[in-house]
Amino acid sequence: MMYDRIKQQMMDTLPFVQLLGIRIDEIGAGTSKVSMPADPKLNNHLGTQHAGALFTLAETASGAAMAGGFADLIMGLRPVAKESRIQYQKVAKGATRAEGRVPGDIAALKAALKADGKVAFPVEVDVFDAEGTLAAKVQVDWYLSEKR
């Protein structure tokens, strides 16, 4: 299946994601589920997950959701994270997970890409800790263009 191929490609080509132990658990049509283990090396001075590790988890989830939304085209595209915003809600205790989604009409985004050769759009991500507490809300704006 195309989603499994995308998941494997991402896991094979993102060494920083591997370093943090992040796993892409699921990719769908504009959605993703990604997880990161509890590991003292990923903690901050409070003993909770470090903000940078949480951001990397969320950015990975956004990329997986973006790629899932464009699964049939992604191999011919050049995706770039253009901008991001993170709002930390609570400290994250233990293992964390992130759920990404492309809000809006993916068919319309694909039509814009076809017409203009490029498209920009947001991907929203929620990050939860081991207890299910919402730890962060993230938006990553992606820019896709045809490979040169």
| 61 burial type by CB count under 10 A (0-12 exposed, 13-18 middle, 19+ buried) | buried
* Cα–Cα distance, 110 to 52 (Å, whole number): 32
- pLDDT for 148: 78
Question: What is the reported pTM?
Answer: 0.96
One pLDDT digit (tens) per residue for the chain, 148 residues: 789 999 999 999 999 999 999 999 999 999 999 999 999 999 999 999 999 999 999 999 999 999 999 999 999 999 999 999 999 999 999 999 999 999 989 999 999 999 999 999 999 999 999 999 999 999 999 999 998 7
Q: DSSP string spanning 61-76? A: HHHHHHHHHTTTTGGG
The two tokens of residue 99 are: 């759920």
- pLDDT for 1: 76
- pLDDT for 28: 97
> Could you give all domains of the chain from N- to C-terminal order, each with its CATH number?
1-146 (3.10.129.10)
